[in-house]
């Protein structure tokens, strides 16, 4: 069910009312799904049905993305503020310590929630924050270029491009390893979401100094990285493993930066396995899906 929720969010910069759009389906232990910068909650549609068979799933639009309005004036789009908003959102839903899975920026926010011990488990798919400065500049340059491209394509041309495999590759090949699997309607919708994302510029600006260096020692953590991620390169997964020695690090073969579309069954299995995980003394590097 699609809905919006307005709730008070206590953040490091004060308490303000925030409104978030979301989709809620399924039954079972609660699972929050968080997308990346400039995307929207529909990025999770390839896996939502699988997850909802075992979990109560909420896919949320981050502030200033998708159908969610931007943050109130005076609140920055930094990870601490966004994570506090998500924590307050879960409380407003009536959830205590849900599982959380996030992609890219959403993966970073999931790790922040895990570090604060606000969730039962964390699954982070190609999370942001494990870059070198040179990698960060590259990533942000690519994202800014994608944003400019999305805003410059006339609507009639966008529709025509999305109807061809070559056009879908041109529009989304940076984030999907298999862009031809994405439907034309989904490609149009996410390109428009990127073009219209109210919080994009401020979120990108707030991320310039972000590094995730603290271990998450409360809930079980799974970090999964697409082997064909062109945005946050797979070597950042090894860096994440060093920063998070208790985490499982999983390779997603033939998957790109947004892997839910490239291999829905594998990604859903990784997330569900993460929600069942039990802390072990020493995490191991695992390769699945080959």
3-class secondary-structure state, position 243: helix
**Summary mean pLDDT of the chain:** 93
Whether the pLDDT of residue 145 is over 80: the answer is yes
Q: For residue 4, what are the β-bridge partners?
A: 21
Per-residue pLDDT, 120: 96
Q: What is the mean pLDDT of residues 159-178?
A: 95
* Closest to 123 measured CA to CA, from 280, 279, 289, 270: 270
Per-residue pLDDT, 1: 87
Q: What is the pLDDT of residues 33-44, one digit of tens each?
A: 999 999 999 999
Confidence of residue 278 (pLDDT cuts 50, 70, 90): low
Per-residue pLDDT, 204: 95
Helices (H), 207-256: 235-243
Query: Percentage of the chain surpassing pLDDT 90?
Result: 89
Instruction: Enumerate domains of the chain plus CATH numbers.
Output: 2-131+209-287 (3.40.50.1820), 136-202 (no CATH)
pTM confidence score? 0.93
Q: What is the dihedral of CA 166, 107, 214, 217, to 10 degrees?
A: -140
Q: What is the CA radius of gyration of the chain?
A: 17
Choice between 219 and 282, residue whose per-residue pLDDT is larger: 219
């Amino acid at each position: 069910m699609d809905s919006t929720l307005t709730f008070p969010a206590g953040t490091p910069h004060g308490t303000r009312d925030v409104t978030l759009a979301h989709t809620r389906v399924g039954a079972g232990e609660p699972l929050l799904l968080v997308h990346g910068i400039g995307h929207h909650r529909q990025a999770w549609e390839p896996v939502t049905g699988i997850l909802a068979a075992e979990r109560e799933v909420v896919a949320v639009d981050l502030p200033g993305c998708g159908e969610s309005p931007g943050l109130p004036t005076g609140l920055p789009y930094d990870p601490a503020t966004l994570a506090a908003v998500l924590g307050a959102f879960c409380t407003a839903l009536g959830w205590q310590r849900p599982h959380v899975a996030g992609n890219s920026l959403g993966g970073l926010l999931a790790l922040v929630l895990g570090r604060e011990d606000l969730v039962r488990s964390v699954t982070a798919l190609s999370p942001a924050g494990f870059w070198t400065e040179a990698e960060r500049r590259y990533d942000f340059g690519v994202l800014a270029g994608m944003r400019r491209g999305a805003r410059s394509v006339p609507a009639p041309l966008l529709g025509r491009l999305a109807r061809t495999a070559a056009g879908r590759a041109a529009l989304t090949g940076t984030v999907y390893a298999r862009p031809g699997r994405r439907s034309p309607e989904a490609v149009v919708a996410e390109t428009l979401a990127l073009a219209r994302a109210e919080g994009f510029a401020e979120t990108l600006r707030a991320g310039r100094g972000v590094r995730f260096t603290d271990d998450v020692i409360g809930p079980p953590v799974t970090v999964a990285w697409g082997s064909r991620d062109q945005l946050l390169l797979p070597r950042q997964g090894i860096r994440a493993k060093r920063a998070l020695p208790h985490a499982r690090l999983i390779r997603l073969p033939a998957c790109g930066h947004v892997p839910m579309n490239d291999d829905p069954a594998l990604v859903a299995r990784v997330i569900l396995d993460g929600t069942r995980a039990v802390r072990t003394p020493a995490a191991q590097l695992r390769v699945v899906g080959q």
